[in-house]
Amino acid sequence: MQDASYLRSQAELCLHIARALSDYEAAENLRAVAAQYFVRALEAERQLATAESNFVLAPRMEISHGALFLQGQLPRHQRERRSR
């Protein structure tokens, strides 16, 4: 996945060049390319935000249920059963 800031800078470059062109069709083509870069930048930002929101640090799990019980990480129904 490309960096959104890179894609935005490419879009800005296309727009800058398009403003300097006297050929209307070439300038329009560059504006279209710039729009595509902006869309790709938005998609990259959306993917990054989704990936960051899905990122969860999993707690370190011990192998034995006894160790989990001692750490208080067993599900409640298993803790209650063990405490009887």
Q: Is residue 4 within 8 Å of 41, Cβ to Cβ?
A: yes
Of 3, 29, 1, the closest CA to residue 15 belongs to 29
Q: Give the model's confidence band at 74: pLDDT under 50 very low, under 70 low, under 90 confident, else very high.
A: very low
Q: What is the pTM of this model?
A: 0.60
Tell which wins on pLDDT, 37 or 62: 37
Instruction: Compute the distance between CA of residue 84 and CA of residue 73 in angstroms, rounded to an integer.
Output: 17
* Residue pointed to by tokens 């969860």: 56
Tell which wins on pLDDT, 14 or 59: 14
Q: Give the model's confidence band at 14: pLDDT under 50 very low, under 70 low, under 90 confident, else very high.
A: very high
pLDDT in tens, 28-56: 999 999 999 999 999 999 988 887 666 65
C-alpha 29 chain-centroid distance: 29
Q: How many residues does the chain have?
A: 84
